[in-house]
Amino acid sequence: MYLKKAFWSDTLTSSSDSQTHPQSPVGELVRSLDNQRLYREVTLALRTGLRDARGEFSFLRVRGLKNILKFLRSVAEADSTINLFCYSQSIPDLQVVPVLFQHSLKESEDQVIPNLDHIFTVNRIKINGPSTDEEVALALRVLEGCCLLHSESTVLAHQHRAIQVLMNVLSTRGVLEQGACLDALISIMLDSSVNQMDFEACNGIEEVALLIRDRQADENLRLKCGEFLLLLLGHLNGRERSPMALIHEDVRRLLGEKSASLIWAASQFGSTLDPEQRLTALHIQARRVLESLDLY
């Protein structure tokens, strides 16, 4: 669901600009009504998407996740809607991250039925269909969006063992899910020391290094691993008392001196560049990292 702009908002803005006293009672009332309308749309979009995301069948969950992802992209267009989304995540019934880990990202061993007693009784047991590749990839994209828009979502992710779940996805799933997983890992580790500590405890750098060194792996996935290392090291550089203080030594040990030096130097790129230029620079530097690995 996309958030719609109120049809009277342009008229209100133009009339306010032409008046010497823009903070009129009428203007304040209209703005208050507009905020209430936006909040209703936010809550409606979340309730509708989460209802499907909790579904028993994968096609229902996929539909819900697609709607939530469209909603998050719409939310990101304005600070006012971002603030409303952040407020909504303080309400348990509207929180997105727990639903992701309770359904789409639920580990397979959690869905195993220990015995057959339920078959011979009248008590109904709810069994959810397994998550498809598309569903897992969508859930990871939704997780990434939630953590980027709402920093407290990283705390919710930690409460659901997010790093352990994502590392399992990275080591067992296909290319589609692995690429989305690397992006989600970056988003949940930004400014989250507990998630960074979990990543280090899970030997996350070793898992990423294993993928990027594998010449038989998908090239786009290897490039994504290079981008992941560049973003992670760039974010941690210069931070005091980082939980991942030894990451430079780990990268040097796993990838070699030349590649580690290149990653360290490239991670300093373009803080003055605009977002599109930074993305282009990131792709170029990741390609160079990959080439340095293939040469030695």
DSSP per position, 244-287: TTTHHHHHHHHH-HHHHHHHHHHTT--TTS-HHHHHHHHHHHHH
Cα separation, 42 vs 178, in Å, equals 30
Q: Does pLDDT of 139 surpass 70? A: yes
127 φ, ψ (degrees, to nearest 5): -120, 120
Lowest mean pLDDT among 29-33, 185-189, 248-252, 277-281: 29-33
- For residue 165, what pLDDT band results from cuts at 50, 70 and 90? very high
Q: Tell me the percentage of the chain whose pLDDT exceeds 90.
A: 53
> Which pTM does this prediction carry?
0.84
Lowest mean pLDDT among 47-56, 152-161, 162-171, 275-284: 275-284
Lowest mean pLDDT among 174-183, 251-260, 262-271: 262-271
- For residue 191, what pLDDT band results from cuts at 50, 70 and 90? confident
Q: Does pLDDT of 190 surpass 50? A: yes
CB proximity list for 149: less than 8 A, separation 6 or greater: 72, 75, 76, 82, 85, 86
Q: How many CB atoms lie within 10 A of CB 173?
A: 17
Mean pLDDT of the chain: 84
